[in-house]
Structure 1
Amino acid sequence: MSIHEDAVSTHPTVAALIARSNRLGADPRTTNYAGGNTSAKGTATDPVTGGDVELVWVKGSGGDLGTLTGAGLAALRLDRMQSLVEVYPGVEREDEMVAAFDYCLHGRGGAAPSIDTAMHGLVDAPHVDHLHPDAGIAIACAADGEALTKEIFGDRVLWVPWRRPGFQLGLDIAAVARANPQATGVILGGHGITAWGADADECEAHSLEIIRTARAYLDSRGVAEPFGPVRPGFEALPETARRAKAAALAPVIRGLASTDRPQVGHLTDSDAVLDFLTREKLAPLAELGTSCPDHFLRTKVKPLVVDLPASATVDETVARLKELHASYREDYRAYYERHAGPDSPAIRGADPAIVLVPGVGMFSFGADKQTARVAGEFYVNAINVMRGAEAVSTYAPIDESEKFRIEYWALEEAKLARKPAPKPLATRVALVTGAASGIGKAVAHRLAADGACVVVADLDPRKAADAAAELGGSDVATGVAADVSDADGVAAAFAQAALAFGGVDLVVNNAGLSISKPLLETTEADWDSQHDVMAKGSFLVSREAARLMIDQAMGGDIVYISSKNSVFAGPDNVAYGATKADQAHQVRLLAAELGGYGIRVNGINPDGVVRGSGIFAGGWGAQRAAVYGVEESELGEFYAQRTILKREVLPEHVAAAVFALTGGDLTRTTGLHVPVDSGVAAAFLR
């Protein structure tokens, strides 16, 4: 165990800090995800000298208070950190001080010190909280925030004018605290709050007192309709109609928001969002953008707002979205060019992160589902801030030039560069049919492991939900009911995928069943049931996938799990073999038809997948074992021994083939069938 880890696991001051941080981070009204930071000062043992050393433990860069552990703290020598004041070169070079924090670190391990480390080390108090509560930011972003702070708090909480986070802000806060011994905290103009205390409990109490007092003031003194009256025709649609329109729009909006780089989507249609979208002040307030640095770093400088009433049709809304998106991109590039200097990082993309559609809700986007969801949460925070500021004053965010300085800050660029490389299927949304068991489940697991968001579609909704839960939370997977033989059911499954992740990029036609009978014993019902699920079902799923992918305009992959039997005339399975041949030819036909949209269609021909197979467990295994005259328990080995490689095929081998076709190395391959059968010469493709 490292020095850092040992200290964290045993030190009572650190334990109290983590407990306080987790409580504060658990309430989104107190601070937002990965926003704010907390600290504690205390004495520890220097492992080199054996003597005492004064440390400050601070939540590190990029961590989240609600889930903070000891590994997320940076531990610094307090004397060295405070000595940096003597070498501080001034505000024009304050960014250099972040690198200097590394020379103050104590021991090994822990998180990288954040830009806010200075305020925690320089404020002369044992415990410090820096938070981004909606109520506090509402005061901080009010046009007369300084006067409001004095009116609300007297001399217990002071005002610190806007300054970009950094060493100088830490000096500013420390000076206010030193000059006002009665003070328990400050409101940071355009930013948030900072509070302090003699111990963990007192510090937390002071933070919560500031937040509750600000909230009570806004509630008691605020006007009834801070966003103005409702605009006729912009009211929220009824839930069923709202969700249907959202599902139709989501792939189009996702495609537009992915013009520069692929994004995953998230829909928020909470009451707070829907109310904001109905109001007269929507457009002017949205144009002002967010203010708190944590907000606009995730939501971009401002959202794209659709200026049509809720009654607009999907086609009308799509047409207007395309016009507005083109204007947004031009406007964002102009914003970049107005403020970029010779040393500014390159533009990171001109697409919106937030799209507001009256009557429907808010679409937010990010490099993964969590990032997209959190971006939406931050814009809800921003709505709350605007509401509070407008209720008692006028919303007045920081200047655009200051927003640019933070969005394109060299330190922010360095933080982005430290992020791990994305997994091969990151940003891709996969829908797998028959995914609650067998091959489909193995495919779902493989795609999720390689970074995809996965829609687990299955006839049994409970099994689908359970299988999705195995993959992780709702940021990774969702389960949906899907009878692939029913067109309405298939359409509903894709609509749920669009609502969950913004669209679909990768579809695996895996749902299947089989009945092994000689021709004369095969009934019409046997024939129809197999063709309904596999031939018709694959057709319906692929048709719906194509509709969505064409609207999305991001290309895509459709993969058919066919069979060796699509080309091999096996005994006593005329219905199964025929429907698998149907699927195999669908691959060829659709590859030719959909290639112009960038949609690739490929197939996989497995054979002998006995262990873990839903089809074999459902009676097919017993039937095939009887045909071949072996025990059912020996069927897998029987199949293996008749192959060239003499090796059994498992569901994960089929899943690996799906990844091979879709993971990025075969970008010029379509219309291909990949055998996964350990080598069956009679089924070689010619």
Structure 2
Amino acid sequence: MTAEPHPQAAELLERSHRLGADPRNTNYAGGNTSAKGTATDPVTGQDTELMWVKGSGGDLGTLTGGGLAVLRLDRLRALAVVYPGVEREDEMVAAFDYCLHGKGGAAPSIDTAMHGLVDAAHVDHLHPDSGIALATAADGEALTKEAFGDLVVWVPWRRPGFQLGLDIAAIKTANPQAIGCILGGHGITAWGATSEECEQNSLRLIRTAETFLQQRGKAEPFGPLLPGYEALPTRERRTRAAALAPVLRAIASADRPQVGHFTDSGAVLDFLARDGHPRLAALGTSCPDHFLRTKVRPLVLDLPAAAPLEEAVARLKELHAEYRAEYRAYYDRHATPDSPALRGADPAIILIPGVGMFSYGKDKQTARVAGEFYVNAINVMRGAESVSSYKPIEESEKFRIEYWELEEAKLRRMPAPKPLAGRIALVTGAGSGIGKAIAHRLVAGGAVVVVADMNAENAAAVAEELGGADKAAAVTVDVTSEEQIAAAFDETLMAFGGVDLVVNNAGISISKPLLETTARDWDLQHDIMARGSFLVSREAARIMIEQSLGGDIIYIASKNAVFAGPNNIAYSATKADQAHQVRLLAAELGEHGIRVNGINPDGVVRGSGIFAAGWGAKRAAVYGVEEEKLGEFYAQRTLLKREVLPEHVANAVFALTGGDLTHTTGLHVPVDAGVAAAFLR
């Protein structure tokens, strides 16, 4: 049974949820909140002053009690006495651990000192676009005075840490009338005697800044429209985005595979249509939360929206080479012998005028959030340019934070990536049975998955089971249609930026004797499985070759590909076709690093859409057994006497693609519990 949180902690969580629910107040996972109060020390039995504060990581909107760090205030405040100075302030982070109260809770964040040293019962530190706009304006201090009078105080830029906490504490003491401060280049901090007052002060600061920017700001802060850079019509924009996606993913993944996210919001398209966007994009983002996720600046295509596709691709490759060289130079300019190693020189944000923004990360959520942060940065630039000029923190300060040892330590604490992390899969026939099991296994292994199925309702349900939009997407596709297959892959590109792993699983089974098998039966069976697998593999290979990241194509064939059984000429011949496609494509695509392998299941009855659709009844009739005992019948004819389930086929897919069989292609793996007559020779 979970203990009830302390009343102050419960109140803090409620305030955090309200503030974090509105993106105008702070970005995802940005900012932190705190509350001070008393509780009984279980050792002494005396009341002890404590502080509950959002710990490292997490998001205000979804914060739980486990995401709070709980510290003793007497010990935290005593750190000021032993503080060795700004040159050694990072040492204080480790000292926070000696201030913790009780077991569990989150690790204290770098902003803990700001909350603990400020003489207020409740403190909010947030990253609202309006506040950061003032914080990054060239004359932000004067604008803060104009907007707030003496109600809000300007704090010059200082890297987050113990010294910033001391600075804010001193400013609050010197300005008893103040409700908060603007942190130059960074964000805002507000305080109050009660949780309600603190929240009201935070919102007052944010909304006053918004109103000031709206009333004081000029109409077109990014400048006039740049001819030829206006947004393309929606359909044309999406078509061009899909056409560019494989090349852009190759650019973002030169160092390590990345998952992508696409945004063509009005804010992005308007920014890229204005003549100020090249200058502003080159200045980069300012708030540490922003550039830690977006890198110091984006890669921007410097061609009009309607430039020929081939010209755009060629230019993007040139810009990528320049970006990598410039990023390396940035690292070399500021790195010291103690700096962490360069983490990768590819862009996290790629801006395409007239089309939109592609953002990249280790997984879909990271990519999506990076894009959200760059939209925040655009809003910040708009606000700063509307009343002044945008002036982010110095490049050297960005480097100090990006390659901060404390950030590096945070990265080291993260769990090791799963085997399929960064990989994008598409599974046909994934709305049920074997395909559904494969989709679940791939997501469990770290991949994102496109659930492709003719049944839209089933596909959507499976995608939701897998975790929703950050884990899976659903597409409706008839694999006999070239147009629908192309559209399904375009949707995959728009959802995740590329494709690395394709499983040809869609199929039907027509079980009839030769003399009862019609030409229509034959054609339908071959259209769905032989022709469908060919069309899917062809489109997958085209994208994989463009990405230059290799890839995997898996065919779910059958033991019937090599075993001559009765009354299934159409099905077995089609499976033999698929089996040979594996060999042919393995031979052809190997030079591109694309591996093609097959799996030969047998007797997968439970959970099978094919068996439920009538195939089971027909096969049971052929063998003279009851349909509900068909799985048991198949098991008894195997060497292992075990029934084969969809999960067993899914495990074989993972074995082929999970990273251990890197030098295997052209292989067929039996998953049949041992059918001697189907042994490969």
Q: Give TM-score scaled by structure 2 length.
A: 1.00
Cα deviation, residue 212, structure 1: 0.3
Please report how far the alpha carbon of residue 51 of structure 1 lies from its aligned counterpart in structure 2 after TM superposition. Answer: 1.3
Instruction: Report the Cα offset of residue 10 of structure 1.
Output: 3.1
Contact between 2:635 and 2:644, CA under 8 Å: does it hold in 1? yes
Measure, in 1, the Cα distance between the counterparts of 2:312 and 2:562: 47
Whichever residue aligns with residue 81 of structure 1, its letter is L
- Deviation, 1:473, is 1.5
Alignment of 1:254-293 (within 5 A): 254-293=249-288
User: Which amino acid in the other structure matches residue 247 of structure 1?
Assistant: A
Could you tell me which of 410, 414, 429 is aligned with 1:415?
410
Task: Provide the secondary structure at the position in 1 that maps to 2:420.
Answer: coil
2:663 and 2:35 mapped to 1: Cα distance? 56
Please say if 1:235 is aligned against 2:236: no
Q: Match of 2:639, SS?
A: coil
More displaced 10-residue stretch of structure 1: 84-93 or 246-255: 246-255
Counterpart among 434, 453, 476 of residue 471 in structure 2: 476
Task: Give the whole-Å Cα distance in 1 for the aligned partners of 2:387 and 2:455.
Answer: 53
Query: Does residue 605 of structure 1 match 2:600?
Result: yes
Deviation of 1:312 after TM superposition, in Å, equals 1.2
Distance 1:309 1:332 in 2: 25
Supply the distance in 1 between the matched residues of 2:487 and 2:378 (Cα, whole angstroms).
Answer: 31
- Equivalent of 2:75 in 72, 80, 87: 80
Match of 2:494 in 1: 499
What's 1:374 paired with?
369
Percent identity, aligned pairs only, is 78
2:455 to 449, 453, 460: 460
SS in 1 for 2:123: strand
Question: Hey, what does 1:133 align to over in structure 2?
Answer: 128
SS for the counterpart of 1:42 is strand
Q: SS of the counterpart of 1:295?
A: helix
1:365 aligned counterpart, secondary structure = strand
Secondary structure (helix, strand or coil) at the match of 1:600 reads strand
| Other structure's SS at 1:457 match | strand
For 2:332, what is the secondary structure of its paired residue?
helix
Residue in 2 that maps onto 1:644: 639
Matching of residue 246 in structure 1 with residue 241 in structure 2 = yes
Q: Deviations over 1:85-107 (max 9, x none)?
A: 00000000000000000000000
In structure 2, what is the Cα distance between the partners aligned to 1:500 and 1:660? 26
Q: Describe the superposition over 1:441-467 as per-residue Cα deviations: whole angstroms up to 9, x where unpaired.
A: 000011111111000000112221111
Alignment of 1:332-351 (within 5 A): 332-351=327-346
Q: Distance in 2 between matches of 1:28 and 1:587?
A: 49
* Equivalent of 1:15 in 10, 15, 18: 10
Is 1:352 the counterpart of 2:347? The answer is: yes
| CA displacement at 1:638 relative to structure 2 | 0.5
For residue 52 of structure 1, report the CA deviation from its aligned partner. Answer: 0.6
Q: 1:186 — aligned with what?
A: 181
TM-superposed CA distance for 1:657, in Å, is 0.2
| 2:656 is equivalent to residue 634 of structure 1 | no
Secondary structure, aligned partner of 1:576:
helix
Amino acid at match of 1:617: A
Task: Write the distance in 1 (CA, Å) between the matches of 2:270 and 2:548.
Answer: 31
Name the SS for the 2:157 alignment partner: coil
Q: Counterpart in 1 of 2:380?
A: 385
Q: Distance in 1 between matches of 2:295 and 2:21?
A: 25
Q: Report the Cα distance in structure 2 between the residues aligned to 1:315 and 1:525, rounded to whole angstroms.
A: 43
2:154 to 139, 156, 159: 159
Correspondences of 1:437-586 after superposition (within 5 Å): 437-586=432-581
**What does residue 173 of structure 1 align with?**
168
Q: How does 1:58-137 map to 2 (within 5 A)?
A: 58-137=53-132
Shift of 1:48: 1.3
Q: Does 1:427 align with 2:404?
A: no
Q: CA deviation digits over 1:25-73, x for unaligned, max 9?
A: 1111110111100000000111112211100111000121011000000
* Secondary structure in structure 1 of the residue aligned to 2:640: coil
Q: 1:594 aligns with which of 589, 594, 614?
A: 589
Report deviation, 1:533.
0.4
Structure 2 counterpart of 1:49, one-letter code: T
Measured after TM superposition, the shift of residue 313 of structure 1 is 2.3
Offset, 1:495 = 0.4
Aligned-partner SS, 1:39 = strand
1:344 Cα offset (Å): 0.4
Q: Does 1:616 align with 2:611?
A: yes
For residue 654 of structure 1, what is the aligned residue in structure 2?
A: 649
- 8 Å contact 2:5–2:65 — kept in the other structure? no
* Shift, 1:252, TM fit: 1.1
Code of the aligned partner of 2:63: L
User: C-alpha distance in 1, partners of 2:348/2:592?
Assistant: 25
Residue 397 of structure 1 is matched in structure 2 by 392
Moved over 4 A (4+): none
- Residue 317 of structure 1 and its aligned partner are, at CA, apart by 1.2
The number of residue pairs the alignment matches comes to 681
What is the TM-score with the length of structure 1 in the denominator?
A: 0.99
- SS of equivalent to 2:256: coil
What secondary structure does 1:557 align onto? strand
Unaligned runs of 5+ in 1: none
Matched, 1:323 2:318: yes
The 3-state SS of whatever aligns with 1:43 is strand
Residue identity matched to 1:476: K
Pair 1:29 & 2:24 matched: yes
**Which residue does the alignment assign to 1:52?**
47
8 Å Cα contact 2:430-2:453 kept in structure 1: yes
The one-letter code of the counterpart of 2:164 is: L
- Which amino acid letter does the alignment assign opposite residue 99 of structure 2? C
CA distance in 2: counterparts of 1:626 and 1:317, whole angstroms: 60
Distance 2:274 2:461 in 1: 41
Q: How far apart, in 2, do the equivalents of 1:204 and 1:593 lie?
A: 63
Cα deviation per residue 1:540-563 (whole Å; 9 max; x = unaligned)?
A: 000000001011110000000000
Unpaired runs of 5+ residues, structure 2, are none
Determine if contact 2:131/2:187 at 8 Å carries over to the other structure.
yes
Distance (Å, rounded) in 1 between the aligned partners of 2:559 and 2:507: 14
